[in-house]
Structure 1
Amino acid sequence: MRQGADRYDCDVLVIGAGIVGLSTAYALTRAAPGTRVTVLEKEPGPARHQTGRNSGVIHSGIYYPPGSLKARYALSGSAEMVKFCSEHGIPHEVTGKLIVATDRSELPRLHALIQRGRQHGLPVRELGPAQIAEYEPHVRGLAAIHVGTTGICDFTAVARELARLITDAGNEVRYGQGAAVEAVDRRVGRGVAVRTADGTVLRARALVNCAGLYCDHVARLAGDEPPARIVPFRGEFYDLAADRRDLVRGLVYPVPDPAFPFLGVHLTRGVEGSVHIGPNAVPALAREGYAWGEASAADLGGLLAYPGSWRLARRHWRYGAGEMRRSLSRRAFTEAVRRLLPEVTADDLTPAPAGVRAQAVLRDGTLVDDFLVEEGPHTIHVLNAPSPAATASLPIGREIAQRALAAVRVSRG
């Protein structure tokens, strides 16, 4: 790419119009009015991948260890998200949720969550079987926690509103395959230049990579070597049949296995009234592999060539085998649901759109459990933004925006 001109098309270029990228751009417009921001998104609109393909839950933060970025962001972000939705007329509700132990082996983990919730200052209540029935008459368990601050919202609507606020502030969000990033040229001491698929070259003082499923690819385009690679996991959902929705009043979760960054098959009533069940988590055959038939030779080849993928598989093959079984058999998936909701049958479940999680994996096969943000000259790369990223997107966006502004100041000298 040509490097000659001193002119910049914008101060900060954000790649990705998921909720984290848009929250970052929005935070830039609030923290430093007049900062020129451009967002690039290869899809025809915002929130087409992880943001728009999840359970729609505003997480309380109870799962996350004190001191972790997840805990810090979720605890502040959940209240902020509720406030943002209220101020902008976005459908939402603070419902509370149950975390239910169905086996005695889960009770120690449940009690540990109670203590963690209290450490975080969350409104948690211990429940026995009769009290579980007061909240969810059709759910069965040995014991449970009620967490009062959990809620639901339409994260796609949040992303659309953030995009509107960004453009109303005089900035730009570019959509479509022509906006896909094909090359990044980092001009040392000056900033970056990005070439998109339609041949446009954009010059910026700082680049923020919020490319989600492609964040490691974008980092390598910029000349940075990420410490982890994205291994895509497909989360498969079902919807409860409309005439059976009365089986679930709100949000019901199992006790999570701390060895994995997945929360298990859960029941969530959405803002529109439907009841989502899932997800299970299986390796996707493409970064955008939303079904078994969607595969990419390039993505699969990169996955097989990465040592971390094989080490992850060797370490967790038993867990993975169970997830695969539930993916291939509705009966097996139903068995998992029946642990919480005994009355449900396979006929009550209707396949729903799946999501793909951009899970960062280290070379030794370790699943990155917390947020991972790395910086290079004039670049900030968001390399792992797991749940509760949507919940916590507003404080995450502010922190990333501050890093971007620091990079802009360096560029200006």
Structure 2
Amino acid sequence: MTDIIIIGGGIVGLATALQIKRQRPGLSVTVLEKENRLAAHQTGHNSGVIHSGLYYKPGSLKATNCIRGYWMLLEFCEKENVPYELCGKIVVATKPAEIPQLNNLYERGQQNGLEGLKKLTQAEMHEIEPHVRGVEGMWVPQTGIIDYVQVCEKYAEKFRELGGEIRLGEKVTQITPGNTLSVVLTDKATYETKLVINCAGLYSDKIAQLTQREPINLRIIPFRGEYFKIRPEKQYLVRNLIYPVPDPNFPFLGVHFTRMVHGGIEAGPNAVLAFQREGYRKSDINLKEMYETLSWSGFQKVAAKYWETGLGEMYRSFSKTAFTKALQELIPEIQEDDLVEGGSGVRAQACDRTGGLLDDFAILETERSINVCNAPSPAATSSLSIGLTVSEKALSRF
């Protein structure tokens, strides 16, 4: 018997495990991860950005956890010698119609306590990013770059030092809640536990459903983000991070340029529906999962609402020319030949039955389980704070 089982060896699961063991070293905690390595999915496929908390509604779980988690992450990395760099970023309004939304972002950043935000004229933007094009911009000094897989490995190391156990290559297949204990069945073993904590990312809704009889009111919709890399001889076009003004109605930040902590520049991502929850390539199709997505009433409402945006994203996915054109909004000098195919990631975006793409983190609780069911970006930046939030919920039961 183990006191707590955490399902998912990504950054949120490991941060939660670490925070529990830090606060209550005497509890037995086991992390189950279906892959043979940690951080195999969302954590290991993201762009490695340390987010400042600029975009999120003041007082929301995203805002409070991102800002608290930001400082917790930096403190952890300093103490544990995990390399990172606070290089800052600019957010660029490429046309006058985007200036009101840029002003809204500036005000939101101030409400969220960000210091040093600065409005930028065209001339000031060119001092920071000489090749950018825009009518107005904003400087965000807190934004940084990091390798979140390295962060995960360090979380795991500290968790194990405190007596925690991580079991790789074990997929959870069944959970049976009892009066005092739950039985967790994997493809290799059977466990008894007092509490299940679900941090399963792309499958968090499936695991949540295993913990309760009533149908849950959300489904994970997988959105693939595809990146290009800029050829070395053209990397001078980007100094650090360049972002567009995001569409306030769509929970994605638009294609942008990101300098990576290990070198190189990524451009992207777009946001297209993935036909498999872990579908990192266009050719990855799981018919059962695709049907589950397309038949979900909430997704059908999303598709009806955003079909035009979605078609544009799909077009950019299959047309390098269209992708380049989107990037040229920010840097006109970038050419199609400057881009080589990069990696991709899949975002686990929760969608409710009404067609709402959940904009905030979502944590669902039952008597024997805590389910983290919506933790896309900025979950990596926020991980230690989300872990603390979840651990406090967990420890209140012991």
Taking structure 2 as the reference length, the TM-score comes to 0.98
Residue equivalent to 2:143:
150
Residue equivalent to 1:246:
236
Residue equivalent to 2:190:
201
Partner residue of 2:63 out of 46, 54, 71: 71
Residue equivalent to 2:204:
215
Cα separation, 2, equivalents of 1:55 and 1:213? 17
Check whether the contact 1:268–1:275 (CA below 8 A) recurs between aligned residues.
Answer: yes
Residue equivalent to 2:173:
182
Q: Percent identity?
A: 45
Check whether the contact 1:250–1:269 (CA below 8 A) recurs between aligned residues.
Answer: yes
Check whether the contact 2:22–2:162 (CA below 8 A) recurs between aligned residues.
Answer: no
Cα distance, 1:205 vs structure 2: 0.7
Check whether the contact 1:129–1:143 (CA below 8 A) recurs between aligned residues.
Answer: yes
The SS at the match of 1:208 is strand
Alignment of 1:74-223 (within 5 A): 74-122=66-114, 123-176=116-169, 179-188=170-179, 190-198=180-188, 200-223=189-212
Alignment of 1:298-317 (within 5 A): 298-317=288-307
Cα distance, 1:241 vs structure 2: 0.8
Residue equivalent to 1:295:
285
Check whether the contact 1:141–1:340 (CA below 8 A) recurs between aligned residues.
Answer: yes
The SS at the match of 1:113 is helix
What amino acid is aligned across from residue 182 of structure 1 in structure 2?
Answer: T
Taking structure 1 as the reference length, the TM-score comes to 0.94
1:293-330 residue CA offsets vs partner (Å, 9 max, x unmatched): 11111211211221111111111100101101100100
Cα distance, 1:191 vs structure 2: 2.2
Matched, 1:52 2:41: no
Alignment of 1:3-18 (within 5 A): 8=1, 10-18=2-10
Residue equivalent to 1:228:
218
For structure 2, the 5+ residue unaligned runs are: none
1:164-210 residue CA offsets vs partner (Å, 9 max, x unmatched): 1111111111111xx1001101012x121101012x10111100000
Cα distance, 1:148 vs structure 2: 1.0
1:320-377 residue CA offsets vs partner (Å, 9 max, x unmatched): 0110110010000000000001111111111111100000001111100100000011
Check whether the contact 1:191–1:204 (CA below 8 A) recurs between aligned residues.
Answer: yes
What amino acid is aligned across from residue 173 of structure 2 in structure 1?
Answer: E
What amino acid is aligned across from residue 57 of structure 2 in structure 1?
Answer: P
**CA RMSD, Structure 1 to Structure 2 (Å):** 0.9
Please identify runs of 4+ aligned residues in structure 1 that moved more than 3 A: none
The SS at the match of 1:217 is helix
Cα distance, 1:52 vs structure 2: 1.0
Alignment of 1:320-359 (within 5 A): 320-359=310-349
For structure 1, the 5+ residue unaligned runs are: 1-7
The SS at the match of 1:276 is strand
Cα separation, 1, equivalents of 2:4 and 2:186? 16
Partner residue of 2:35 out of 29, 43, 46: 43
The SS at the match of 2:53 is coil
Cα separation, 2, equivalents of 1:180 and 1:119? 42
Cα separation, 1, equivalents of 2:216 and 2:336? 43
Cα distance, 1:75 vs structure 2: 1.1
Instruction: Out of 75-84 and 15-24, give the one that drifted further.
Output: 75-84
Check whether the contact 1:207–1:404 (CA below 8 A) recurs between aligned residues.
Answer: no
Partner residue of 2:366 out of 376, 399, 404: 376
